[in-house]
Chains A and B, each alone.
Chain A
Amino acid sequence: MAQAFFGGVHPNDRKAATRAKAIEPLPAPAEVVIPMSMHIGAPCKPLVAKGDQVKLGQRIGEPGGFVSAPIHASVSGTVTAVEPRPSSMGGTVLSVVIANDFQNTLSDEIRPVADPDSLTAEELTEIVKNAGIVGQGGATFPTHVKISSAMGKADYIIINAAECEPYITGDHRTMLERPEQVIKGAMLLAKCFGVDKVYLGIEANKQDAADVLNAQIAALNAPVVVEVLHTRYPQGAEKQLCQAVSGRQVPSGKLPADAGCCIFNLNTTCAIYRAVYEGMPVVSKIVTVSGSGVIEPKNLECPIGTPVANLFDACGGLREDTYKLIMGGPMMGLAQYTADVPVGKGTGCMLAFAGDEERYEPEPQCIRCGKCVGVCPIRLEPVFMYKYLAKGDWENFRDRLHGMDCIECGACTYICPARLPLTHAFRMGKQQVNNARMAAIALAEAEKAQEAKKEA
C-alpha cells in the first residue's frame, strides 16, 4: 500500500474540463520556433543556417556540453532565421525558425532499433542521448545524464504519472490511449537498470488509467507495479513521490539516486519508447490547453516549437479579459508576457486565466495561523523563513530554517489566508544565498591569484 508524504494541499483539480478530451493532433503550424535551450545545462549550437532545407527529425542543435541534449527539427521545411526569440523562461534565446513545407519528409536519421529486447544499458543510454530526451514533466534535466548518474546506485525505479497539478490531463490521456508505449517504455527502463520491478505512481483520481495500465501489464506480462497514491499536491514532486512509493527520503541537498531511487516522468518514458521502437527523437509534445480564458479546452499534440498562440487558436481563441498565460500548471508554471513563446520539451500545459480570479493582496499581514507549516511537504517553517527574509537575514534562512531545501512547490502560498508571497520570497532568498556563495568563491580565487602573484 502506498504511503503518504508530509503535508500537501488539495486544490480544486479542475481536470474535468479536459479529462474526457482525446488527444488531437494540432493542425500543422506554418512556422515553428525551436529554441536551442530546452533543457537544464549548456545550450545547443545550431547546426543549420538561414536558407537550409531540413527534414523532420533531423538534428539541428548539437549538445553544448555533457549536461545537454541535442535538438531536432519538428517539421520539414526551410530555415528562415537563426536568431534570438522570446523564451518561456523570460528574455530571449537563440532559436531556429523553420517555415513548414507541410510535407513531413522524414529524415534518414530516423531508424527504429532492429531488436529492442537485446539492447544493453549503454546502447539504450546512447539512444536516449541521441533522441534528445529530457525530463519532460517540466524539469527538463537531460535523461541520459540521469540514467548514467543513477546507474549502479538506484534499485528503485519509479515512473511519475501522478500529474498532481490542477488542470493537466495530458499524462492521463496518454495512459488511456497509449498504454503500450507507457508499459514498454517502463520495461526498457527495467532492463536498463536490471531491476525486477518498475513502480508507476499514479494519483487516485485516475483510477481508470490505472485499470487500463494493469490490463496492459497483464497482457505483456510486464514487471511493472502500478501504485495508486492519494490525490494530493505535490504528489508528483520528485522527493515526495520517492517518499510515497518507496518509503525512502532523499537526503537533504542530495538527489533521489542517493536514496537508491530514480524517477522518470511518464512522458519521458513514452519518449524512450518512441526513440527505441520508432526511432523518433523528441519532436512533438502533448499539451493540455485549459483555464478560464480558453473557449474550448483541449489536449493537443503539437510539434516542438509551435507558438502557443497557435494552440489557443486551435481551442477557439481566448476570452478578451484574459489576464494571465501560464506555461505549466497553476502551482509551479511560468507566467508568460507574450503568446509568441514556443512549446518546448518541458511544456505539458498552457493555461489562460480570465476574469477577476487573481487574488492579490497589496499589503499582506501574516496572522501566524501556521497553516504553511502544516502543508509544507519538506516540513519547513515558511512563516519564519518569510520573516527572516523580510529582514534580509538570508543566513538564518539558510542555516537555521533550511531554506535551501525548499522545493518551491507553492503549497504554503496556496494555503496562506493572508496571501503572503511566500514562494516568491523563498526564490529570491535562495538566489541571495547562491549569489553570496558565488561571491565567496570569487573572493577566494582572487585572493589565491594575488598570493600567487606575490610569490612570483
Chain B
Amino acid sequence: MTEYKELKLIASSSPHIRSDEDTRSIMLDVIIALLPALLMSVYRFGNWNFRALTVTAFSAGCCVLWEWLYRKLMKKSNMIGDLSAVVTGMLLALVCPVTVPYWMIAVGSFFSIVVVKQLYGGIGCNFLNPALAGRAVLVAAYAGPMTRWLAPEASYPVLGSADLVTAATPLAILKEGGADAFAALTQTYTAGDLFLGRIGGSLGETSALMLLLGGAYLLVRKVISWHIPAAYIGTVALVSLLAAPAGVDPWQYVTYQLFAGGLLLGAIFMATDYATSPVTKPGQLVFGAGCGLLTCFIRHFGSYPEGVCYSILIMNCTTWLLDKYIRPVIYGAPKKEKKEAAAK
C-alpha cells in the first residue's frame, strides 16, 4: 500500500486546474493565423522569389534578438519563449512594402521592441501597438522607401535592389476622388483582385481572403472575440456607404474601402492586440467604432491615402480612458448604482 508519509505534497491555493491555453499558445495561434496572408504575398510579390518571406523572417529574428538583448543587459528574465516578439516582428514586416531595405526593418524592430514594449515594462505593459508604432516611425523617417509599392507580380530580388516596377495602391487612386477615379480603379483592379491580393500594397495586407481566413481561425480558437473587428469594419462600411461620392455604386465603393487597404489586417490582427485594447466587451465595441471613424476621417480628409495605422495608434491612447469609464455592472449591484451606470 501507499506510503503516505513519503509523498512530496504541494499545498497551494485553489483552483488546482488551469486551462491548456497559455501566452505561448496564443502567440503561436496568431503566427499560424498570419501564415495564409504571408504565403499569398510570397506568391504575389515576384512569383515565389521569397523576398516577402525573408523580410518577414528577418523582422521576426530582429525582434527576438532585441528583446533577448535588452532583457539580458537589464538583467531581467528571458521572456523570448512566449513568442510575442515573433508576432511583433511578423506584423511589422507585414505592414511594410516588400521592397523595404533590411536595415530599415532592424531600426523599426528596435523601436517596436525596445522603446515601445520593453521600456514600458515588457509584454502587456505597452500602451501602443509595437508593430504599428515601429511602422509609424519608419514612415516618418523614411517616407520614400516606405511608400513605394511594388506592382503585383513584379519581381524584386531577395538581396540587393533592382529597378522598381511600382504601382499606385487602390486607396491612392481612391484618394484622387470623384467618380472618374473610381471608374478607373474598378478597371484596374477587380473585386477578385482585392480578394486574392493582386494589388499593390504592404507585404501582408493585400489578400482580403487570406486575412479573413486567419481571422476566422483566431475566432474559432477564441484568441480574439468578434467585438473589435466587427465594430471596426462595420463602422468603416457604414461611413463609406453614407459618404460614397455621387455617381458611384455605393456598395461597390464600400467593397473597395473595406478590402483595398490595410483595414482587414488592422482590424483583425492589430486593433485586437490585448495590451492596447480595452478589456471589457462594451469597451471593445467603442474602441473598434473609434478606429473605424478615425480611419474614414483620415482616408477622406487627411493627407494620407490610408488611415488604419494612425487610427489604431490614436485609439490605443484612449484605452485607459475606455477601461476607466466603460465598466461592467456587477452581479447584485444596488438598484441606485445600476441606474447611475445606465445613465452613464
Contacts and interface: CB of A to CB of B under 8 A. Distances in A.
B330 A313 contact: no
A325 B82 CA distance: 31
Contacts of B225: 374
A417 B25 contact: yes
B328 to A, nearest CB: 4
A165 to B, nearest CB: 10
A366 B9 contact: no
A250 B17 contact: no
B333 A309 contact: no
Nearest to A322: B7
Contacts of B275: 367-368
B18 A367 contact: no
B331 interface: yes
A31 to B, nearest CB: 15
Given A339-B7, A367-B275, A405 B331 contact: yes
Interface string B246-263: 000000000000000000
A357 to B, nearest CB: 8
Report the contact-size class of chain A (Cβ under 8 Å from the partner).
35 or more
A335 B19 contact: no
B275 to A, nearest CB: 5
B23 interface: yes
B14 A325 contact: no
Nearest to B8: A323
Contacts of B239: none
A326 interface: yes
Q: Give the secondary structure class of A's interface.
A: loop
Contacts of A379: 328-331
A365 B15 contact: no
A373 B227 CA distance: 14
Contacts of A330: 14-17
Grouping DSSP codes into helix (H, G, I), strand (E, B) and loop, the B interface class, with mixed when no group exceeds half, is loop
B144 interface: no
B332 interface: yes
B4 interface: yes
B19 A334 contact: no
Contact of B2 (A318, A358, A402): A318
A369 B13 CA distance: 23
B159 interface: no
Contact of B77 (A313, A359, A363, A373): A363
Interface in A226-270: 239, 243, 249-252, 254
B332 A380 contact: no
B160 interface: no
29 contacts: A166-B17, A251-B332, A252-B333, A313-B1, A318-B4, A325-B9, A328-B14, A330-B17, A331-B15, A334-B14, A335-B9, A335-B16, A337-B9, A337-B11, A340-B4, A365-B79, A366-B124, A367-B123, A368-B275, A370-B274, A381-B279, A381-B327, A383-B279, A384-B279, A405-B332, A408-B14, A414-B18, A417-B22, A417-B23
Top 8 A-B pairs ranked by shortest CB distance?
A370-B279, A410-B15, A339-B4, A317-B2, A379-B328, A424-B13, A359-B18, A367-B124
Interface of B: 1-2, 4, 7-19, 21-23, 25-26, 77, 79, 82, 84, 122-124, 225, 274-275, 278-281, 323, 327-334
Interface of A: 6, 9, 11, 90, 166, 239, 243, 249-252, 254, 309, 312-313, 317-318, 320, 322-326, 328, 330-340, 351, 353, 357-361, 363, 365-370, 373-374, 377-381, 383-384, 402, 405, 408, 410, 413-419, 421, 423-424, 427
